[in-house]
Amino acid sequence: MKPIWLPLCLGAGLALAVMSAQEPPPQQPPAAAPKQGRAKRPPPPGVSTPGVKREMSAIKPDQVFPIEGTPDWQVLTEDSVWVSNGPKNTIHRINARTNQVEAAVVVGKRPCSGLAAGFGSVWTPNCGDKTVSRIDIKTNQVVATIPVGPAQSEGGIAASPEAIWLVTDPKGTLSRIDPATNKVAAEIPVTPNSAACAYGEGAIWITTPEKNLLTRVDPQTNAVTHTIEVGHGPRFLTTGAGSVWTLNQGDGTISRVDAKTGKLTANIEVGIPGGGGEIAFGAGHVWATIFQIPLSEIDPATNTVIKQWVGTGGDSVRVGHGSVWLSNLRDGNVWRFSPNQP
C-alpha cells in the first residue's frame, strides 16, 4: 500500500592528495571519503499525555498470519479479511471464523491504493498495469479487469450502494464504475492531485493532500457539494460516529468533519506525521497506524488519543469480526487481537 522509503546513499568525490613535486606518487589511489546519506526523518513524536503510551510488545495477538511479501491494504467482508500484497500481485483472504488463509488470488500488477468490498466482490486498483481487478467473493476468482488505474499509489477505492469510486487521474478525475457493466459510467471533476476516496454517511469523500482539502460528492447527482479545509496533508480517511476522519501526513493530526454540515469540528493531536499509514473506524473508536507508532486509539467522545502503542509493525488497520487487524508490512504478517487492550 505504501512504498517503503530507504535512505539513499550519495556518492562522494575522491579526496585529492596534496604533495610536493619531490614526493613520489602514492602506491595506491587515495581512499574515498565517507559516503554521505540522506538525513533520516526524525521519529514521529506521538502524544505526551501521561499514561497513554504503551509498547507494542505489550499486545499479545490472538493470531499471527504470515504472508510472504508486503501485506498491506485491507477490507472486511461478512466472514473474511482481505489483504493486498503488492510484490506478489495477490490478494489474500483470511477466514475470520477459522483463522485460516483460504486463498491467494492473483490480480493485476502491483495491487495498491486500497481495497473495497461491494456487489458480491472485492475490488483492487493495480498500480503496475493501471487497472482495477474485480474478485468474486464466492469463487475467489478475478471476474473482470477494468482498464482504469489509481491516480496515486497511496490512495483509496470506495464502494457505495450505487457504484465503485476511484480517483483515476492526477488532473482531478473521480471515476464512477458501474458494477453491472464493469465500465466507467461517469467522470466527476474534483481538485487536481486528489488521492483517496471513501464512502460513508451517504456520500463519497475525497482527500487532496497538497491542498489540505476534503471534498464531498453526492453519489445520487455526481456533484461536488462541499470542499472543506482540514489539517496539513490529509490522505487516508474513514467514516464513523457521524463524522469523516482524515489522517494528515503533514502535521500528524487527525481532522474530524461533521458529515451533515461539512464543518471541521476538531484537529486532534496524534503526533504521527510522515508517509504511509492508514486510519479506520471500528468498535466505537478511531484507529490509526504508521511505522514506529503502529497503533493509536482515539475516543470520539473526547476527540483525544486514549492509547498509543510504539515499536515495530503497522501500516494498515481494520476493525471488525470482534478484532483489530493490523498489517505489519515490514514484518510480513497480519496480527489479529482484541480492541480491548489494557
Distance of CA 37 to the CA centre of its chain: 27
Please write the tens of the pLDDT for every residue from 23-40. 333 444 344 443 344 457
Mean pLDDT value across residues 116-140: 98
Please write the tens of the pLDDT for every residue from 279-320. 999 999 999 999 999 999 999 999 999 999 999 999 999 999
Q: In CATH, what class is 53-337?
A: mainly beta
Using alpha carbons, list the distances in angstroms from residue 120 to 97, 101, 141, 167, 199. 19, 19, 12, 22, 17
Q: What is the pLDDT of residue 33?
A: 41
Domain boundary assignment for the chain? 53-337
Cell of 331: 514484518
Please write the tens of the pLDDT for every residue from 83-106. 999 999 999 999 999 999 999 999
**Burial (CB count <10 Å: 0-12, 13-18, 19+), residue 267:** middle
Q: Which amino acid is at 207?
A: T
- How far apart (Å, rounded) are the C-alpha atoms in residues 203 and 260? 10
- How far apart (Å, rounded) are the C-alpha atoms in residues 247 and 266? 12
- Please calculate the CA angle 173-174-179 and round it to the nearest 5 degrees: 135
Q: What is the pLDDT of residue 41?
A: 73
Count CA atoms within 13 Å of residue 298 on its CB side: 29
Q: What is the pLDDT of residue 42?
A: 85
Please write the tens of the pLDDT for every residue from 37-73. 445 778 999 999 999 999 999 999 999 999 999 999 9
Q: What is the pLDDT of residue 4?
A: 38
138's torsion region: left (phi>0), alpha (psi -120 to 50) or beta? alpha
Mean pLDDT value across residues 242-269: 98
Q: Is the pLDDT confidence value at 230 over 70?
A: yes
| Structure-model confidence comparison of residues 32 and 128, the more confident one | 128
